[in-house]
Amino acid sequence: MNGGDEVVAAPPGPPQLLDWKFSQVFGERTAGEEVQEVDIISAIEFDKTGDHLATGDRGGRVVLFERTDTKDHGVSRRDLERMDYPIGRHPEFRYKTEFQSHEPEFDYLKSLEIEEKINKIRWCQTANSALFLLSTNDKTIKFWKVTSQETSLVARSRRVYAHAHDYHINSISNNSDGETFISADDLRINLWNLDISNQSFNIVDVKPANMEDLTEVITSAEFHPTHCNMLAYSSSKGSIRLIDLRQSALCDSHTKLFEEPEAPSSRSFFTEIIASISDIKFAKDGRYILSRDYMTLKLWDINMDSGPVATFQVHEYLRPKLCDLYENDSIFDKFECCLSGDGLRVATGSYSNLFRVFGCASGSSEATTLEATKNPMRRQVQTPSRPSRSLSSITRVVRRGPETPGVDANGNSFDFTTKLLHLAWHPTENSIACAAANSLYVYYA
């Protein structure tokens, strides 16, 4: 298996460069308006069909949006035409409802405040016309059912899965069996049955007997999209472990380990910090895993554990500034990543409300930088879609995005306070939803 060539088998030649356009913004900030901390978006997730989109925020709220362009929601086509809407179909959403998922709490035993901030949202299998989703803050996972009652939508908490995590929950993920899900914190991963909220099974425990021996924590975990027995989790040391739930009840030993050793020459004080993986995502077909660390996006083939099949530089230009980034804690920012439904592209966020889209198909050199504004291409430097240089003979392709960040060309300095951490790719179409502070932007191509 020679990875680079086989990233995607099907299409002949690299797919076209996508032309990204602004679609919608929700909660746009007016000039000079101050952002309330509680309004900052902390999670974004499309459902499996792409007909719904959910966001969570630091205030513990979950906001739901529904797609309007596929179903006729009362606005007739003629009305749309009269309003001179482009008929070219791309996902459009409208606000559906919102509810308070989590409240701030206080753990009296440990004297700890528990923030209401939503860390993750995951949509669940629809069992009837209602919508179901899981949301979690640092400690407690909740299962929500949203139904329309008469004219309004009502969200009811169906179950609360609490008291199973000593550390902060960083991930939740549904199993393809439709009845179980996992929740991961810094040191443990627990397996739940959706129907049972008072017990869970610990399946991974990396806590050392002596906490002083702790060198590595779990940063993210996700179930395989179709194999119910397989899950992957990433660590602060930059490794991804694939585990097989069939092997044993407590999966302390992994089936496969994916990591790329740093060249000893480039080792520095920051090496370990920037190696930490902030997010992993399986591609829809389950063969590839995308991971994001501070500097790069990496695409892994689960059949090849010798190294990533592709690496995309996201923050290479920040390397000289690592010291400053460490000083102001930015180096610990956790950027999410996502893959397109067809597996041909990957995306992740950056500073100054920028996000980047890379083509990962064989021969593609697509690398686009967009800004989360109404004019996404504003900041983009001319990076012509260079014809792929003859890299295809090399097994491991390191593709580089524009090395010179657009910023410097514009004479702006990077703004570390505006960071685009959360984004999600529509499951079936080329559409990306991303969060810039309290605003949700949707783009299409």
Partner 1 sequence: MAMIDEPLYPIAVLIDELKNEDIQLRLNSIRRLSTIARALGEERTRKELIPFLSENNDDDDEVLLAMAEELGVFIPYVGGVKYANVLLPPLETLCTVEETCVRDKAVESLCRIGAQMREQDLVEYFIPLVKRLAAGEWFTARVSSCGLFHIAYPSAPEALKTELRAIYSQHCQDDMPMVRRSAATNLGKFAATVEAPHLKVDIMSMFDDLTQDDQDSVRLLAVDGCAALGKLLEPQDCVAHILPVIVNFSQDKSWRVRYMVANQLYELCEAVGPEPTRSDLVPAYVRLLRDNEAEVRIAAAGKVTKFCRILNPELAIQHILPCVKELSTDSSQHVRSALASVIMGMAPVLGKDATIEQLLPIFLSLLKDEFPDVRLNIISKLDQVNQVIGIDLLSQSLLPAIVELAEDRHWRVRLAIIEYIPLLASQLGVGFFDDKLGALCMQWLKDKVYSIRDAAANNVKRLAEEFGPDWAMQHIVPQVLDMINNPHYLYRMTILHAISLLAPVMGSDITCSKLLPVVINASKDRVPNIKFNVAKVLQSLIPIVDQSVVEKTIRPCLVELSEDPDVDVRFFASQALDSSDQVMMSS
Backbone angles phi, psi at 351, to 5 degrees: -85, 175
Distance of CA 418 to the CA centre of its chain: 17
In this complex, which beta carbon is closest to partner 1, that of residue 89 or of residue 246? 246
In this complex, which beta carbon is closest to partner 1, that of residue 175 or of residue 340? 175
Cα pseudo-dihedral 186, 190, 193, 196, rounded to 10? -90
Give the binding range for partner 1 (CB under 8 A) out of 221-229, 341-349, 363-371, 390-398: 221-229
In this complex, which beta carbon is closest to partner 1, that of residue 143 or of residue 444? 143
x/- map, 8-27, partner 1, by CB under 8 A: --------------------
Q: For CA atoms 275, 279, 284, 286, give the dihedral sign.
A: positive
Asked whether the beta carbons of 361 and 8 are under 8 A apart, the reply is yes
Residue 132 binds to partner 1 (criterion: CB under 8 A): yes
In this complex, which beta carbon is closest to partner 1, that of residue 145 or of residue 319? 145
Query: In 3D, which of 27, 25, 30 has the Cα closest to residue 98?
Result: 27
Among 128, 151, 382, 413, binds partner 1 (CB under 8 A): 128
Please state the closest distance from residue 249 (CB atom) to partner 1, in A. Answer: 5
Helix (H, G, I), strand (E, B) or coil at 108: coil
Among 89, 246, 378, 400, binds partner 1 (CB under 8 A): 246
Give the binding range for partner 1 (CB under 8 A) out of 244-252, 302-310, 406-414, 436-444: 244-252
What are 181's strand-pairing partners? 174, 192
Among 228, 304, 377, 398, binds partner 1 (CB under 8 A): 228
Give the binding range for partner 1 (CB under 8 A) out of 120-128, 263-271, 296-304, 437-445: 120-128
Element housing 408 (H / E)? helix 406-410
How many CA atoms lie within 13 Å of 265's alpha carbon, on the beta-carbon side? 0
DSSP assignment, residue 426? Answer: -
Judged by CB under 8 A, the chain residues 135 through 154 that form the site for partner 1 are: 145, 147, 149
Judged by CB under 8 A, the chain residues 181 through 210 that form the site for partner 1 are: 195
Residue partners of 104: CB distance under 8 A and separation at least 6: 60, 113, 114, 115, 116
| 317-326, Cβ contacts within 8 angstroms, sequence gap of 24 or more | 317/403, 317/404, 317/405, 318/414, 319/295, 322/268, 322/270, 322/274, 325/416, 326/270, 326/273
Give the binding range for partner 1 (CB under 8 A) out of 175-183, 373-381, 398-406, 433-441: 175-183
Residue 178 binds to partner 1 (criterion: CB under 8 A): yes
DSSP assignment, residue 322? Answer: H
Among 16, 49, 100, 125, binds partner 1 (CB under 8 A): 125
x/- map, 154-173, partner 1, by CB under 8 A: ----x---------------
Please state the closest distance from residue 124 (CB atom) to partner 1, in A. Answer: 10
Residues that bind partner 1 (CB under 8 A): 125-130, 132, 145, 147, 149, 158, 176-180, 195, 227-229, 245-249
